[in-house]
Chain A
Amino acid sequence: MDMTLPAVNWLSVLPTLLLSVTGMLALFWDIWMKDDERSLLGWLSLTGIVVTALCSWLLWGQNDVESFSGMFALDAYAVFFHLVFCLVAGLTVLMSLTYLETAEIRHGEYYALILFATVGMTVMAAATDLILIFLGLETMSIAVYVLAGIWRQHLTSHEAALKYFLLGAFASGFLLYGIALIYGATGSVQLGPIAEHVGAQGSSPLLLIGMGLLIVGFGFKVAAVPFHVWTPDVYQGSPTTVTAFMAVGVKAAAFAAFARIFLHTLGAVHTDWQGILWVVAALTMTVGNITALVQHNIKRMLAYSSIAHAGYLLVAMVAGKELGGAALMYYLVAYGLMNLGAFGVVVAVGRKGEPHEELDDYAGLGFRHPALGMAMTVFMLSLTGVPPLVGFTGKFYIFSAAVQAGYIWLAIIGVLNSVVSAYYYIRVVVNMYMREGEAIVELPSLRSALGAAILIAAIGTVLMGVFPSASMSWAGASFLSLG
């Protein structure tokens, strides 16, 4: 019997391997570690993440590093997302170093789980095989299910974990069924052969149902309406840093795979799925923004805001082509920076035993803590889409891509939604500067890991907004690597 071993290019999985090894080291070290040394795990994770980011950076643009019989490709597109995930995970770990103390979460597994979830994300972004994408999705999801419930003292955290797990497992079923049907329609689970088949034969009823099921599966992960009902409860109940990680990391990973499959592999039949995504995008923006208007809990408000932002990102998907793809990737970075920053401020305002998550808790914050108030103002204005911050340039790229692709009404709905969203974002700012704070709460010094995370996010939000062209052309080049 003769066997051909697959040609393995280890370079293409190097970032993923580095993250896995760091995760296992963190898990191992935790067993022998004393309770008061836990923050060392955070620094270890951070080192691993930074090394991974550097490594990915060096591998950018080496398009030929495809490996594992065409199941895995570390093309520029994947590297771009690797860097996004490293940014998200890095900022989350920085925030967690402070947060785990205040929230009294003493499980060393926390950092290992963050790393394992990031491993899953990198696999999702680089996989060129539907089964492998599913595997990455599950690796990520299972770690995040556990993270959602890691706040053992709080019942809401248990509830969040269980809700997320049950609905997530259900959504995974849809995704897997979609993969099976697409396999039935095209005879392959690898993206290359699927694209060839679809390009030559066009669509078939089986393929249509498969695509629909994929949209349901990914729609759940990115929290698109009508698959969003889990979002508010899960985001509110989970530990704040995990919420930030979910809102940004999980969404970015899902969009990485979503865009690779739909914009590239199924690009030939885009007329078949654009219509349905148009409706989903319009609904997601509208429902997210309108419901956010009446929220009093800041985490719940940010949850609905994250639904609304999923809607904007879906507009970029509908616009498609080079411009839409690049706008999608740019906006994911933008959204990551400003949203992580906002959650960082939420972490900073929380105290031991008193999370301070109500909007009223922000009254007078701008005077009690000018730096924190300033940072929150920047993030809120950026989320609204006020120039010259990154939220504005991101939305500008998305809506201009939509207009150029002929989706003028979708762009109009998006802009109207941005106007609506101004109400609830600016309300936070109004609370901070125009109301007297009832109680003077002592706030933590920002000369900590948390402060560094907020600072990085704020600088990124401003810089990327003022100088958008460099990162935009980089996103464009990365998207084009899909071919």
Chain B
Amino acid sequence: MVDRLRGRTKEPVTAAPAQEPASPRDAVWARVLLARNARRPHALELIAGIADRFTELHGDRLFGDDGAIVGGLGRIDGRRVVIVGHQKGSDTDENIRRNFGMGKPEGFRKAIRLFELADRFGIPVVTLVDTPGAYPGAEAEERGVAEAIARSIMVMCRIRVPIVTVITGEGGSGGALAIAAGDVVIALENAVYAVISPEGCASILWRTSEKAPDAALAMRMSAADQLALGVIDQIVPEPGEGAHADPAETARRLRAVIVEQLDRLAALPPDELMAARMRRYRDFGAFDDLGGPEIPEAAERQGLGDRLRRALEPMGTRIGNFGAREGRDEPPAREEV
């Protein structure tokens, strides 16, 4: 994967989405490639354009400092903010140092620390999301990357200050969501957001990562599709061929939107802010309530033998039949995020 990621930096700049490619599959894949473009402005570059002044803070106070997640104190158009973002590199050396923007537990715990700092001092939070996903290595598991992500989301549900989230590039699964549970979620036009990388999805469901463009289409990764789903609230258009064509203009456009959202959220009383945040996330889900109990067991209409056996079976309570439906102990392939 490191080789593949390295390869990314050499990828040619993809054609502008202005001249829409023929199929929707190619169109969404073009956006995935744009979102991953190494020349696309990353967090520190965007922060330099958005903030009047930025002081980076380092370390999680528990283990170390993660180069893949940056954060600190700043001002945006005079407003105090705490900014946290994923940091990819723009060349191979920096990408190795930044771990391709894949957060480790210490990175998420640094984010937690900064969120709590913001809460304590009543400072609004801005998060910039751009990651292929959390780092999937053994050391990350040893230090509890899942716990760090879950805790970070929990702290975002707790802090009583406005949170403005911007998906600037790749919104990759839990590693992205760990700093993306904002009051409002904005995305750049060519950003993508998904529950799993298209390669990962394709290799599980299609058994080959070459079907990644199909997976990207099926998961509706594009910012426009995510807007339709309500997962993001607003799209900021990118200049020219994409954000990499004019990073300064991209930052200028983002700055205007962030300021507008910060002011809107700052006007809300904290109780209303929290209630709105809880409502935003409580409402996600697409299901129906068919009412009534479980599916009637019509599918297994009982023969005389079954009925006799059931009548004689002492353990056959409604929920207690341990033996029922447990033939397969090694069920189908795992699904992963």
Asked whether A and B interact, the reply is: no
Question: Which chain A residues have a beta carbon within 8 Å of chain B's beta carbons?
Answer: none
Give B residues with C-beta under 8 Å from A. Answer: none
